[in-house]
Amino acid sequence: MPVEINGRVIDNFGQPYLISEIGANHNGDLELAKKLVQASAEAGAHCVKFQSWTKESIFSAQVYRDNYFLGDDYRQRQDYSLEQIVEEFSLGRDELAELKRYCDQLGVDFSSSVFSPRETDFLVCELGAPFVKIASMDITNLPFLAYVADQMVPLVLSTGLSTLDEVVRAVQVIESRGNRQLVILHCVSHYPPQDHNVHLNNLDMLRAVFPDYPIGFSDHSLGTAIPLAAAAKGAAMLEKHFTLDKEMFGWDHQVSADRRELAEIAEGIGRIHAALGSTRRVLSDQDYQRRPAYRRSVVAAADLARGQRLTREMVDFKRPGTGIGPDALDLVLDRRLKKDIAADELIHWEDLS
């Protein structure tokens, strides 16, 4: 069942909906966030997405006391604490509202991942986001899934770290609230994953298990090959982290697409969607126009005289295909010629008695 986001239909093997995942790559800087929005729009993304977390909505006090950084290159830092960087990199309500207005000006969709009921209410009720993203970390947070589903807006559910049973249970909870506006994203929550751990064939599996929902891909790989491959496998939605500078300080810059890569993905998914075409065998007008020039006709293999009865050795097949086709050979053999035919000349029906 397709999902509609701001008038755009999201469906399997449809035009993939491209989300530029800005996440925390704004580094808590509103002006940098706007530059990321503008660059995403210019590259061809349909949507830019942020993350609406606060210092209180993800980590417990224990995590802050342990000062444990999830990114390998940010562990055991001495220049700041985890609590400080989480607070610094979060966006406040006023900033998110400003970014929503800026997205509207540029004609690009705005959304965010939410991590608490309070953030959900703000995103849906005050900002009017066209969909809500549920991060992989919350796929077993069943009370929260039920709360978000109750908002009756389209939901995008990421499945990283999850078993299939956990995904099924999450979908059942959402359905139990009467919300069937759901896009399910295959996701590998490694930053970046090795290619053999991506398992793009899970797109086929998820379509088979959840035939009523569009299936997409949240990508954390390096480069453009894997998201383009996901588009070729019919992903309804593609999410890709985005940065202006891969060397910038922060969590996800190194695994993010830059301007060139995001533009390459945007152009590529459009071409791939057009090239996938139909499952029916379809010939274009150009195909029909080329057939006479490219196909073969029955021709005389040697000089043939009037009255000769044609045998297989007397004929050959050559271009152009404007005469009798080779597939009609059985209707040609053993018939007599009404006139002389020179070698390599086409034999026509009117030449046969």
Taking the domains of the chain in order of start, what are their residue ranges? 3-54+90-276, 285-351
> In angstroms, rounded to a whole number, what is the distance separating the alpha carbons of residues 235 and 213?
11
Asked whether the beta carbons of 69 and 77 are under 8 A apart, the reply is yes
Pick the closest to residue 97 from 50, 45, 39 (CA basis): 50
Q: What is the mean pLDDT of residues 16-24?
A: 95
Three-state secondary-structure class, residue 304: strand
Q: What is the mean pLDDT of the chain?
A: 92
Q: What is the pLDDT of residue 79?
A: 66
> In angstroms, rounded to a whole number, what is the distance separating the alpha carbons of residues 218 and 233?
14
Q: What are the two backbone dihedrals, phi and then psi, of residue 335, each rounded to the nearest 5 degrees?
A: -100, 150
Q: Which of 31-45, 149-163, 276-290, 332-346 has the lowest mean pLDDT?
A: 276-290
Q: Is the pLDDT of residue 188 over 70?
A: yes
Q: Is the pLDDT of residue 71 over 80?
A: no
Beta bridge partners of 266: none
Q: What is the mean pLDDT of residues 98-104?
A: 98
CATH level 2 (architecture), domain 285-351? Alpha-Beta Complex (3.90)
**Count, residues in the chain:** 353
Q: What is the mean pLDDT of residues 93-109?
A: 97
Q: Is the pLDDT of residue 64 over 80?
A: no
What does the CA dihedral 183, 241, 222, 46 come to, rounded to 10 degrees? Answer: 60
Three-state secondary-structure class, residue 330: helix
Q: What is the pLDDT of residue 340?
A: 97
Q: Is the pLDDT of residue 35 over 60?
A: yes
CATH level 2 (architecture), domain 3-54+90-276? Alpha-Beta Barrel (3.20)
